[in-house]
Amino acid sequence: MGVAGSGKSTIGKLLAQQLNWIFVDADAFHPPSNLEKMSQGTPLDERDRQPWLLALRTLIDQWISSECNAVLACSALKAVHRQMLRLENEEIHLVYLSGSFELIQTRLRCRQHHFMPAALLQNQFDTLEEPEDAVQIDISNPPADIIKQIRGMLGV
C-alpha cells in the first residue's frame, strides 16, 4: 500500500515473480468513471472508492477461500479502506511503501501513460493515514533491496 508513485506495482510485480504468486494491481478494478475523474485531476471521494473497494474485497475473499497466495498493489490510504478490505485478517500481510513527497513527485513527473497526474499527489498525502500494523519500507532504496527487505520481514 501507499500513495501513487510509491512503487506498489513495480515492487508488487517483482515480489510476486520471486515468490511465484499471483500479482494484481488494484487500479485494474477502478470503474471507468474513477479513471476519468482522476485523469482530469479530480480526486476520488469515498462514494467513488466504495464499489472499487468492494470488488477488491471480493477478490481477497476468493484468494483466502482457495488458499491462493497473491500480491495486491492497492493504495488503501485510509484505515477504513484497509478495514473494508479486511486487512486485519492474520493471513494478510500489509506492506506500506513510504517515501518523501519530493521523491514521489519526481517519480510521478517521469511516469508516462498513467491516469494519475502528479497534481493529485498532495491529495494522496493529505488522505493518507499511515498504518501502525504494517511492515513499513523506505522506497528510496533500489527495488532489489526493497524486495529483500520485505521478504526478510515477512519470512517469505
pTM across the whole model? 0.89
Q: Could you tell me whether strands 22-25 and 70-73 are parallel, antiparallel, or unpaired per DSSP bridges?
A: parallel
- Residue 114: pLDDT band (50, 70, 90) is low
> Please, what is the average pLDDT of the chain?
92
The Cα–Cα gap between 46 and 100 comes to 25
**Considering the domain boundaries, does residue 81 fall inside one?**
yes
Q: Total structural domains in the chain? A: 1
**Considering the domain boundaries, does residue 49 fall inside one?**
yes
**Considering the domain boundaries, does residue 1 fall inside one?**
no
The Cα–Cα gap between 88 and 80 comes to 11
**Considering the domain boundaries, does residue 2 fall inside one?**
no
Quick check: helix, strand or coil at residue 131? coil
> In which domain, by residue range, is 42 found?
8-154
**pLDDT (tens digit, 9 = 90+) per residue, 59-105?**
999 999 999 999 999 999 999 999 999 877 888 999 999 999 999 99
Residue 60 near residue 85 (C-beta atoms within 8 A): yes
**CATH number for position 125:** 3.40.50.300
**Considering the domain boundaries, does residue 3 fall inside one?**
no
**Considering the domain boundaries, does residue 123 fall inside one?**
yes
The Cα–Cα gap between 31 and 56 comes to 12
